[in-house]
Each structure stands twice: as C-alpha cells, then as structure tokens.
Amino acid sequence: MKRKLITLSIVSILTTAYASVPVLAQSLPPELSPNKPPGAPPELPDHPEHIHKTGDNLEIPDELIQHRQNFDQTKSEEKPDEASTPTLPLEEDKVLEDEQVPKQWRNLIKQGDEAVKAEKFSSATSKFARALDIAEKSENALRLKAITLKRLGLGYTGRKQFQEARNYLSEAAAAYGKLGLEDSGLSQAVENLKKWYKELDFHKFGDRVSGYFADAKVERISVFKNAEFPRIEVSLADKLERDLNSEKVKKIKFDKIVSFNFKALPEDKFGLDHVEGLQVKTKKLWVNLFASLMGLNGSNQPEAKVTGGKLGKEKTVTIAVPDDIYDQSMAILKELKNAINSTKYDATLFDAAQLQEAGHEDGRENASSEPEASSLDPSKPKTLPEKVKENMKPPEVIHSLEEPVKPEGISPAAPYNEVLDNHLPEDKPTTRYP
C-alpha cells in the first residue's frame, strides 16, 4: 500500500510538469512569434528526441505546423512585383517557342530582341533581316514574316531611318491583315514611329497651296521631327524646273526628292538649311543650292539670300525675288509651318483596316493555292500544297519497252574512227526518263 501511494505521487508530479508545457510554449522567442513574416523557418531543436513518436504517428511541434501554414499561404499569394502580363502577345509567344518553327529563325528573333533592349539597333536589324530570309522560305511564311517585319520596323525606328521603318511596318500590317490578326505590338510600333516621323496630306492645305503641289506632281511630304529644327522631304513624280526671272539666279531645278531643314524665324522670315536636291542656274552654270533665307528687307521689298556651291566652293548672293514667286513661296512656307506643329494636316501612314480588307480579298482569291492558311497549331493536321503534290508525281515514261531508245548524235570515241560495241543486247538501255 505504501509503495502504491509513492507511485501515485510520482505520476501526479509528472502530470503537473507536463501540463505546464503549453504555458511555456506560449512565450515564444521573437523569431517564432505570430508577428514574424510569413514563410520564415522557425528555429527547431537540433536533437531528434524532441520529436516524439506515438504509435505510427509523429508528434510535430506547433512551431513547425505554424511555419508550414504560413509557407502555404505565402506561396498561394501573388507577388506584387511579378509581371501580370507577358512581354509578347500570347500567340506570338507560342510561335517563338514552337519547335516546329525553324530553330534558326527563333534564335535570330530572340537575339534581335536582346539587341533592341540594349539599343544596338544596327545589330538588331541585321539579325531580323536574316530571319526574314528564313521566314520567306518556311512553311508558315506569312505568319513568320509578319512577326519579323514588325521587328524590322522597330529596329529601323531606333536607327532613325524612319521611312524604312514605315515601309516595313506597312508590310507587316498587310501580312497581319491577310492572317486576320490584330497585333497590339504593331500598333505600339506605329505610335513609336509617329513620335519621330509623320507625313503631311497636302490636300488639306489651302486650295492655292494644294494647287501648287498638284501642279508640281508632289507624291509625298515627310516630316522628320527634331528637337532643334524639323527636316522636310518632298517627293516628286519627276524632276521639275522653274524660271526665276532674276539677273543673278535665272532658274531653279528640283530633283525627284528634295529635303531641307526648316526654320521659321521672326518677322515672317523663313530659312532653309542643309538643302539637298535643289540646283540654281547663274549666268554661266548650274550650282547646288545649300541654304536660303527669304523675307522682306528693310525697304519692305522681297529678297532672298542664297548660298550655292560647286566643286568645293561656296558663295552667298542676295537676290530680289519677283512678287509672284515670293507670294507663292511664302504661302507654301507658312502652310508648312502650321502643318509641322499640328496634327490637322497629318496623313495616315498606312490604313491598317484597308490593308486587312485587301488581305482578306486576296486571301479568298488565292485560298486554293496558298499554303499560308495553315496555322502553327500542332493539333491540326498538315496538308501539302497542291503545287508540291504536282511536283511529287512520278515522271512519265516517254518510250516503252516495245520501242527502245536509239542513241542519237554520238560521236565515235575509239581510235581511227572505230566504234567498238562490246555490250550484250540485254545491257543496252531500253527506257529513258525526262
């Protein structure tokens, strides 16, 4: 009986000590407190005997359970610094990862993209140009060309070669139109180009000025935007020559492309600098026109200071401008000044809607012959184009076995003009293929 009481006393003491453990567990160190950032691991005991096993189950400490719950919660939450949208259109991203697309094309596109990010635009356009050659020979040529042409437009915009960029983006828009796709990246590329380049619709000018351009057969007026002075480029259908009726400068000649830096100065004066594509005729010879400053002089008379040169020599002369030539020139210069600083006179670089409509019509006409309708979806069965099928037909036999081919036009090869025939009859050819 005495031994039993001693045993019960020991059990009671152990039970009291074990019951005090949860109270101690509530006073956790700072790294295990509930305010600790989620996902941070707790400092668990180093000895395995602290993790007890009852039967087939392990008794996991509460700290480890809390850490696991915090980790799962953090994993399921979206991180705010992660990009919510891919950098490429979803479909285009799939194309660049499609193993059925030529690997060399995919590598060149990715290398070109990296060059654009590093602002190495010459290297980028070189890689995109090589990718375009591969795209034109591939099975899905139209889709790959559309992607490549868009990137060439971006690259040439970075190189400040804006008309080349405009032409490539126009081709890209036509390709996307044939595919029936609207590409947001193409729209962004066009908007980026418009920051530096635009074209003017001279039909929106006054009747008088638009008439002048129509008579001169102007095809396009381009504006290259610059922080200091914009540059104007006028494209004509043919070269043009005009009389100036001046003693010092008799005529002026326009090339098919005329370009100049445009300067609007105070007192209604206008300057043209770094002129290309203009020649003026003096008393003796034609010289290149480099610069011109036109306006009224102190006597309120129209005049122009003209700088010309030839064979490395330059000369500036002041000439009186006839009233009709002055009025015409000033009307054009004032319209250009207004058009440069306004969007009212902007021409559409290329109408994507019209290109898409034209692409759909062209696609309907050539639907039976063009293999471009096939997509890059690997789940769809692929069929060979009709032209390829025709080329795969076996060649026709011209001669039958009943009518063997007779050798024609064979010159003797043996000495002394002897032809030796050592062939057996069965060795001689009986058929011929084209």
Sorted by where each begins, the domain ranges of the chain are 2-72, 99-196, 202-344
* 238-261 per-position pLDDT tens digit: 999 988 777 777 888 999 999 999
For the residues 260-288, what does the mean pLDDT come to?
90
CA distance 143 to 105: 12
For the residues 295-311, what does the mean pLDDT come to?
90
pLDDT value at position 85? 32
- Exposed / middle / buried, residue 111 (Cβ in 10 Å: 0-12, 13-18, 19+): middle
Instruction: Give the tokens for residue 339.
Output: 């058009």
Confidence of residue 183 (pLDDT cuts 50, 70, 90): confident
CA distances from 225 to 123, 232, 321, 341, 347 (A): 24, 9, 30, 10, 15
CA distance 290 to 315: 10
Other residues' Cβ atoms within 10 Å of the Cβ of residue 157: 25
DSSP state of 283: S
Judge whether residue 399 has pLDDT over 70: no
For the residues 331-350, what does the mean pLDDT come to?
91
Other residues' Cβ atoms within 10 Å of the Cβ of residue 98: 14
For the chain, how big is the Rg over CA atoms in Å?
Answer: 41
pLDDT value at position 430? 44
CA distance 323 to 401: 92
In a 3-state reduction of DSSP, which class is residue 330?
helix
Confidence of residue 168 (pLDDT cuts 50, 70, 90): very high
Confidence of residue 232 (pLDDT cuts 50, 70, 90): very high
CB 322 within 8 A of CB 245: yes
Pick the range with the lowest mean pLDDT from 234-243, 279-288, 295-304.
Answer: 279-288
CB 43 within 8 A of CB 29: yes
Domain 99-196 sits in CATH 1.25.40.10? yes
* 35-88 per-position pLDDT tens digit: 555 555 555 555 555 555 555 566 676 766 776 666 565 544 444 333 333 344
What's the chain's average pLDDT?
74
In a 3-state reduction of DSSP, which class is residue 286?
strand
**Distance from first CA to last CA of the chain, Å, rounded?**
120
DSSP string, 38-100: TTPPP---SSGGGSEEETTEEE--HHHHHHHHHHHHHHHSPPTTS-SS-SS-HHHHHHHH-TT
pTM assigned to the model: 0.59
* 130-146 per-position pLDDT tens digit: 999 999 998 889 999 99
Confidence of residue 301 (pLDDT cuts 50, 70, 90): very high
